[in-house]
Amino acid sequence: MSAPYFPVIDLPRRGDERGALVVAEAMADCPFEIRRVYWVFGTAEGVSRGFHAHHRTRQLAVCVSGSCDLRMNDGRETATIRLDSPDRALPIEPMVWHEMHNFSPDCVLLVMADAEYDEADYIRDFEAFTRYLTTV
C-alpha cells in the first residue's frame, strides 16, 4: 500500500496474447535521467537490506519478480510499501532512509538511479541521518 508522501508510480503495461511488457522511460515514466541500473536478487530468507539514505541520489525501485517491502522514512513520515508487481515503481528521493524487508524467494528488485555509485553520497547510520535532518 502506498502512502501519500511516498507515492507509487504505475508504469505503462502493454501486452497481448504473447505476454506483457512494462516500460520505464527516463524523464517520462522515470522522473530523472537514468545513470545506473542494478538489481537485488537471491536474498536469503529473513535477510533485510538497504539501511541507508542518500544525500543527492534519486532512485526508482521496481520489483520485477516476486515481492518485498520497502520501509521509508523522510524524518517526518514513515511508511512501509509493498512492491509486488512489475508495473508499480517506488521513487526513493534524496534524504529518505530506506530499508528492504520480507523478500520473497523469487524477488528481483530492479533499481534505476540518477547517479553512479559514490560512497560519499551514502548515510549509513540512522542516528546520523536524523541528526543531519535537523541541520538542513
Q: How far apart are the first and last CA of the chain?
A: 29
Q: Per the residue annotation, which of 52, 54, 55, 101 is the catalytic one? A: 52
d(CA 3, CA 67): 18
Alpha carbon 13 to its chain's center: 19
Residues composing the chain = 136
In angstroms, rounded to a whole number, what is the distance separating the alpha carbons of residues 115 and 59? 9
Identify whether 52 is a catalytic site residue.
yes
Query: Rounded to the nearest 5°, which phi and psi values hold at 116?
Result: -70, 165
Residue 14 makes CB contacts below 8 A (sequence gap 6+) with 20, 21, 22, 23
Q: Which three cell numbers stand for residue 132?
A: 543531519
Active site (catalytic) residues: 52
